[in-house]
Copies of this chain bind each other. A is one copy, B any other.
Amino acid sequence: MSLHQVARACKALHHTFVDRSSARVTLKDIARLAGVHPATASRALDPARGDMLTPETRDRVRRVAQEAGYQVNSFARSLRKNSSGMVGVVVADVANPFLPPILRGIEQIIRAEQKLLLIAETHDDGSTLLEIIDHFVARRVDAVILSAAHLGDEHAVASLAEKIPVVLAVRSVGSARFPTITHDDVLGGQLAAEHLVSLGHRDLAQLRGPMDVSSFRGREQGFAAVMSTTTALERFVDQSATAPTVEEGRRLAKAILDTPGRHPTAFFAHNDLMAVGALEALRDRGLTCPRDISIVGYNDAPLSNHVNPPLTTVRLPSLELGRRVATLALAVIAGSPTEPTIEKLPPELVIRQSTAAPSHP
């Protein structure tokens, strides 16, 4: 096979090769085609200022632009207006099943405003967060929705907030210095505790998520608050999960079950994945849920009603949270007076089959 033939074969293979170097249609082109000045064309194409023109001119320009397939060059526009039309969202972990409804809520609102979403993931790593913030600042996003804050991040957030409007979602930084919308995790923890106590449990333990995250901290406190007002006893557990995963839930539960003496009759896992891990730990020891130990999860994750047994859990209004936080972000962008307050959305207890009265009271 000659070189020539090879070349031909290659070319045939690449029959979809396209030349993308063709210059695109610019505003000037449209102006020329419509016989007006670029400035006029610009006005005609801006819905907000289209009525400064003769309807006639305006429509002509628009028609021409339409036919020519004109699209603004967003770089030029952004450079001029110094605003990108993008909203940055920072999450800890896309794989966390409680995120999608939040993202969807945010997206619904943001897209309705013709803005675009820039999503980045920190993996709960502080230096990654800093990097992402840098990127967002460099790209001049109109606002940042931050749902990956840790309790120590106040300083980083403050320095970001100097440059870009910031709204905190899901997790607060502790103080109420920034506009924040979270779930009411203290209430969530209370709900879980009250449910278990009213079932008759007197010896309970928490499987705690990372304690440097406000949402887990809130759950812990709500739960503990109820404990302290009843005759029930919360087991002292000195560990908490490094990440809210199945593995960590299993590890924590195992540690408790390995402790000599009677084990608690109920667990409050700080999320459903950890609850599932606890379920595994029980099974490993031949224990049954809820007969031997009751378990309450958190989040009402997608398949939590299909695990064995279906999980009693705390359901969060995440879609609503996403919508509100996006709306708030838009308000902040628009420069409306932003009171730096924390708004808390109430969760709801969903009782299924992983909780029951203790069998050895």
Is A291's beta carbon under 8 Å from chain B? Answer: no
* B308/A140 in contact, CB under 8 A: no
Please provide the chain A residues from 7 to 28 with a CB less than 8 Å away from any CB of chain B in the complex.
10, 13-14, 16, 18, 20, 24
Q: Give the contacting residue for A139; candidates B116, B121, B137, B306; CB below 8 A.
A: B116
Known: A303-B302, A303-B307. A18 touches B162 (CB 8 A): yes
Instruction: Kindly report how many copies of this chain are found in the complex they form together.
Output: 2
Q: How far is the CB of A255 from chain B (nearest CB, A)?
A: 21
Is A103's beta carbon under 8 Å from chain B? Answer: yes
Is A178's beta carbon under 8 Å from chain B? Answer: yes
Known: A138-B74, A307-B303. A163 touches B20 (CB 8 A): yes
Q: Which residues of B sit under 8 angstroms from A307, Cβ to Cβ?
A: 303, 306-308
Is A117's beta carbon under 8 Å from chain B? Answer: yes
* A95/B100 in contact, CB under 8 A: yes
Is A304's beta carbon under 8 Å from chain B? Answer: yes
Q: Which residues of B sit under 8 angstroms from A71, Cβ to Cβ?
A: 134, 137-138
Q: Which of A101, A119, A134, A178 has the most CB of B within 10 A?
A: A119
Interface locus among A49-57, A75-83, A192-200, A218-226: A75-83
Q: How far is the CB of A296 from chain B (nearest CB, A)?
A: 16
Please provide the chain A residues from 136 to 155 with a CB less than 8 Å away from any CB of chain B in the complex.
137-140
Binary per-residue interface labels of chain A (284-314) against chain B in the complex, 1 for a CB within 8 Å, 0 otherwise: 0000000000000000011110111000000
* B135/A116 in contact, CB under 8 A: yes
Q: Which residues of B sit under 8 angstroms from A100, Cβ to Cβ?
A: 94-95
Which partner residue on chain B sits nearest A303 by CB separation?
B303
* B116/A117 in contact, CB under 8 A: no
Is A61's beta carbon under 8 Å from chain B? Answer: no
Q: Which residues of B sit under 8 angstroms from A316, Cβ to Cβ?
A: none
* A119/B121 in contact, CB under 8 A: no
* B84/A95 in contact, CB under 8 A: no
Is A161's beta carbon under 8 Å from chain B? Answer: yes
* B164/A20 in contact, CB under 8 A: yes
Binary per-residue interface labels of chain A (212-255) against chain B in the complex, 1 for a CB within 8 Å, 0 otherwise: 00000000000000000000000000000000000000000000
Q: How far is the CB of A113 from chain B (nearest CB, A)?
A: 12
Q: Chain A interface (Cβ within 8 Å of chain B)?
A: 10, 13-14, 16, 18, 20, 24, 71-76, 78-79, 82, 84, 86, 94-95, 97, 99-101, 103-104, 107, 116-121, 134-135, 137-140, 158, 161-165, 177-178, 273, 276, 279-280, 301-304, 306-308, 337-340
19 A–B contacts, CB within 8 A, in A order: A10-B337, A14-B337, A16-B177, A18-B161, A18-B162, A20-B163, A74-B138, A75-B75, A75-B78, A75-B82, A75-B84, A97-B97, A97-B302, A117-B118, A117-B119, A117-B120, A118-B118, A303-B307, A308-B308
Further contacts, 15 of them, CB under 8 A, given A20-B165, A79-B79: A13-B339, A16-B340, A20-B164, A71-B134, A73-B79, A73-B138, A73-B140, A75-B76, A75-B140, A273-B302, A276-B306, A279-B306, A303-B306, A306-B308, A308-B308
